[in-house]
Structure 1
Amino acid sequence: MRKGNLELFKKINRDLVLETIRSHQPISRAKVAQRLNFSRSTVSSIVDELIAKKFVVETGLGSSTKEGGRRAIELGFNPKSGFGVGVELTAAGLLVCITDLDGNVMRKERWDAGSDFKTIYDCILASLERASVQMDTVIAVGFCIPGLTNSKKGIIVDAPELGWKDVPFVEEMKKFLDKPIYVNNDVNCAALGERWVGGAKDLDDFIYIYIGLGSGVGSAIVANGNLVHGKDFMAGEIAYLIQEEDVSRNRVNAAGEFGVFEKKVSGKSLAENESSVQALFQGYEQGDPRSVQTVNRFVTHLSIGIANMVSLLNPEMVILGGEVAGYLKPVLNEVRSNVSRMTPIQTTVEITAMGPEAGVLGVIAYAFDQEQNVI
């Protein structure tokens, strides 16, 4: 057997043993071997390696056997064996988040700072120090970007909010930070955050729809457990969804302009005739005729968009996120009813329960997923 193939098999076995310990802890070496149908010697060898790397710890003696035999040493996963750093970049500054391997937040801190590379690096160092986390225990650093990113090449293709276009972000950041570095779009990151520690935890097929207070509307698609990027990393650009009535009125999408669907469901479009989205929904709940008409039209357009995506992708769940989602509770049942009526394919529609840190947690999960070979 070639050396490369042998190393691959070793890694697969190592991942299986670690995941079994993580999922069934506390568990003995013998029970791990039994679950995986591995020899005890193979499991013992792998466990010794994982203990040496501090990914696994011995938690104590288990219960006595029915026969009164010697009690086995039980094993547990050590989430503090490594840490991830997530950084969300916005026009207002940075959000730095540090978690252990289970997604437990060690520190979360906002920085009113610029987005030049040296400043970003200094903020990361300061946050690590305040969290009492050593840089050598950091497995990877992920960056959540409000714009189009080429996550494979580490390039920020277009981030108008930051004033960046075709920036080789990872290459530039590596001049300061000697760690594996990853970037991804903020909506994709929010979806991954939902899958790691949120409402879509462990789901393999779901859609995350982001509706911002401004002009922003987007979605992220997780299919068969994987984030769908698309050829040009533009999968999920629902701002460009279009219907027959749009075409008949010559409302079509053009590069550099707001999308047709975006003009119907974004926070900016909702607040066109009100001082804010909040004021609009307050008027809706108070029965103001104009507010009711605006919100009903929004609900119809949103429901059609969701129904079409559900028919195309057959997701287990659709999660509504972004600032506007916080106002949608009064109309959620109507959206659910509409979607159920518009497509025979069943799904559930939920409003995110995660706060604004969904994206920064998601990019940590993304970075961890890319760095599976560290174990």
Structure 2
Amino acid sequence: MKKGNLEYFKKINRDLVLETIRSEQPISRAKVAQKLSFSRSTVSAIVDELISKKFVVETGFGSSTREGGRRAIELGFNPQSGFGIGVELKESGMRICMTDLDGNVLWNEWWNEGLNFQRIEDCIFESIEKAAVSMDRVIAVGFCIPGLTNSKDGIIVDAPALKWTNVHFVEEMKKRLGKPVYINNDVNCAALGERWVGGAKDLDDFIYIYIGLGSGVGSAIVANGNLVHGKDFMAGEIAYLVMEEDVAGDRLNEMGEFGVFENKISGKALAESETSVQALFQAYEKGEERAVVVVKRFIQHLSIGISNMVSLLNPEKVIIGGEVAAYLPAVLADIQFNVNKMTPIRTTIETAAVGTEAGVLGVIAYTFDEEKDLI
């Protein structure tokens, strides 16, 4: 067998042993071997390597056997063998978060800072110092970007809120941080945050829909356990969905302009009839006629959009996030009822479980997945 193939199979075996320990802990070497149908010597060699790298620890002795034999030493996964850093960039500053490999948050801080490379670098190193974690133990740094990103080449294609276009961001930050660096779109990151520690935990097929208080509307698609990016990294741009009346009224989409669907369901569109989205939903719950008309129209439009996505993608769940999601519990049952009528393909519709940290947690999960060879 060629050396490359041998290393590949060794890595597969190592990943299987580590995942078994992580999911079944506490577990002995013998039980790992039994579950995987590996020889005990193979498992012992892999476990010794994982212990030396601090990914696995011995947690103590297990229970005695029925025959009263010697108790086996049990193993556990060590989530603090490595850490990830997530940075969410916004027009008003940045959020920096640090977690261990299980998503436990060690540090989470908002910085009211101007966004330039030097200040981003300084704030990251200050956060690491405050969290009392060595940079040597940081596996990777991920950046959550409010705009179109080419996550493959590490380029911020267009982020209007940051006033950045075609910025080779990853290349620059790698030089400054000396660590693997990744970027992704903020809606994709929020979806991955839900999948890691929220309402989509461990789901392989779901849709995340973002509805902001402003004009922002977008979605992220997770299919077969992977983010769907699209040819130009624009998969999930539901702002551009059109319906028959849009075509009949010559209301079509243009790149760089607000999308047709966005103009129907965004927070900005909802607030046009009231002083705010909050005021609109308060008036709706009181039964005020004008608010009822606006909210019911919103429910209808959103239900149609979700139904079409469900028919196309067959997700297990549809999760609605963003600031507008906070006002949706009062109408969620109506949206679910409509979707059930509009498509025979069943799904569950929920609001997001993770709050403002969804993006930074999601980009950390993304970096861990990209660096899984090291974990």
- Normalising by structure 2, report the TM-score: 0.99
1:224-283 CA distance string (max 9 Å, x none): 000000000000000000011100000111111100000000000000121110011011
1:162-241 residue pairs with structure 2 within 5 A? 162-241=162-241
Q: Aligned to 2:177, what secondary structure does the other structure show?
A: coil
Q: CA shift at 1:353, angstroms? A: 1.6
Residues 60-69 or 167-176, more deviating: 167-176
Residue number in structure 1 paired with 2:85: 85
**Residue type at the aligned position of 2:83:** F
| Unaligned ranges ≥5, structure 1 | none
Residue number in structure 1 paired with 2:122: 122
Residue number in structure 2 paired with 1:373: 373
Residue number in structure 1 paired with 2:247: 247
1:299-327 CA distance string (max 9 Å, x none): 00000000000000000000000000000
- 1:66 and 2:46 equivalent? no
Residues 49-58 or 127-136, more deviating: 127-136
Residue number in structure 2 paired with 1:8: 8
Q: Aligned to 1:329, what secondary structure does the other structure show?
A: coil
- Mapped partners of 1:39, 1:27: distance in 2: 16
- 1:317 and 2:317 equivalent? yes
1:180-235 CA distance string (max 9 Å, x none): 00000000000000110100000000000000000000000000000000000000
- Mapped partners of 1:202, 1:364: distance in 2: 15
Residue number in structure 1 paired with 2:270: 270
**Residue type at the aligned position of 2:272:** E
- Mapped partners of 2:114, 2:76: distance in 1: 42
- Runs of 4+ residues deviating >4 angstroms: none
Identity of aligned residues (%): 75
Q: Aligned to 2:183, what secondary structure does the other structure show?
A: strand
Residue number in structure 1 paired with 2:307: 307
- Mapped partners of 2:372, 2:5: distance in 1: 17
- Mapped partners of 1:5, 1:56: distance in 2: 25
Q: CA shift at 1:115, angstroms? A: 1.3
Residue number in structure 2 paired with 1:279: 279
- Mapped partners of 1:241, 1:224: distance in 2: 24
- Mapped partners of 1:70, 1:118: distance in 2: 58
**Residue type at the aligned position of 1:177:** L
Q: Paired residues, what number?
A: 375
Q: CA shift at 1:172, angstroms? A: 1.2
Residue number in structure 2 paired with 1:54: 54
Residue number in structure 2 paired with 1:42: 42
**Residue type at the aligned position of 1:264:** K
Q: Aligned to 1:294, what secondary structure does the other structure show?
A: helix
Residue number in structure 2 paired with 1:136: 136
Q: CA shift at 1:65, angstroms? A: 0.2
- Mapped partners of 1:79, 1:31: distance in 2: 21
Residue number in structure 2 paired with 1:296: 296
1:54-92 CA distance string (max 9 Å, x none): 000000000000011100000000000000000000001
Residue number in structure 2 paired with 1:154: 154
Q: CA shift at 1:175, angstroms? A: 2.3
Residue number in structure 1 paired with 2:330: 330
- Mapped partners of 1:54, 1:114: distance in 2: 38
- Mapped partners of 1:91, 1:38: distance in 2: 53
Q: Aligned to 1:295, what secondary structure does the other structure show?
A: helix
1:328-353 CA distance string (max 9 Å, x none): 01000000000000000000000012
- Normalising by structure 1, report the TM-score: 0.99
**Residue type at the aligned position of 2:323:** E
Q: Aligned to 2:272, what secondary structure does the other structure show?
A: helix
**Residue type at the aligned position of 1:355:** G
**Residue type at the aligned position of 1:232:** D
1:26-56 CA distance string (max 9 Å, x none): 0000000000000000000000000000000
- Mapped partners of 1:280, 1:80: distance in 2: 46
Residue number in structure 2 paired with 1:257: 257
1:2-43 CA distance string (max 9 Å, x none): 111111111110000000000000000000000000000000
- Mapped partners of 1:27, 1:329: distance in 2: 42
Q: CA shift at 1:173, angstroms? A: 1.0
